[in-house]
Amino acid sequence: MLAVDDDADILYTIRAICEAAGWQMDGASDGAEALRLLRQRRNYDLVLLDYHMPRMDGLTLLGFVREEFPHLPVLVLTVDEDQATADAFLDAGATDFALKPIKAPDLIARIRLHLRLAAAEQQLERRPHEELPKGIQRQTLDAILDALRGAEDFVTQQDLAEITGFAYQTVCRYVAHLEDEGLVDVQFNYGQLGRPKKLVRWRDKRK
């Protein structure tokens, strides 16, 4: 796999985590170097990329990656960016997010999840007539739908993130899509201080 970050300490940490998990990792310090490596090797299983980098930032790099490697899983390294930033990356083709500061168990679990989903996608027949909105990917959508169908009642978006292994921002984007499609019921929990929690339920669960 390929990790892209202008912080040498972060690249060192990611490399150590990947090697401990049995994965080989190449590192790049900016988007331009990463694009060169991608074009040279063309056989990476997954890319981890940072947002803020010199010469070519993560969002720009992601655009090139999606043009040339449309099915390559891309996880964006983020310090809990807001939903608008997350949506911009998802619109550009990001697969999911991995939070900084990096924690080995979380990163390994997130990488394993998306390697497994990518392998499953390769085994499935393509659905040539199916079109999904920008920023929505079939394997991720199916995993979130499976979690909703398996839930007994309403669940929070944080619950869905923990069940599926996806980042919270990714789950929020996909839940919004399901709302637009009329596939989920939504209610809000106002019983605690702060912002109300959104609860969602697969529509077939209605009594």
| Region 31-56 average pLDDT | 91
d(CA 107, CA 48): 10
Residue 28 has pLDDT above 80, yes or no: yes
What pLDDT sits at residue 194? 66
In the three-class reduction of DSSP (H, G, I as helix; E, B as strand; rest coil), residue 26 is classed as strand
What pLDDT sits at residue 202? 92
- Cis omega (within 30 of 0) for bond into 54: no
Residue 59 has pLDDT above 50, yes or no: yes
What pLDDT sits at residue 207? 45
What is the token pair recorded at 178? 């399901």
Residue 55 shares a structural domain with residue 23: yes
Domain boundary among 62, 90, 123: 123
| Region 159-180 average pLDDT | 95
Q: Report percent pLDDT > 90 for the chain.
A: 69
Residue 93 shares a structural domain with residue 187: no
Q: Residue 116 sits in which domain range? A: 2-123
Residue 122 has pLDDT above 80, yes or no: no
Report for 69-83, 118-132, 175-189: range of highest mean pLDDT? 175-189
| CATH number of the structural domain spanning residue 53 | 3.40.50.2300
d(CA 178, CA 113): 22
What pLDDT sits at residue 16? 96
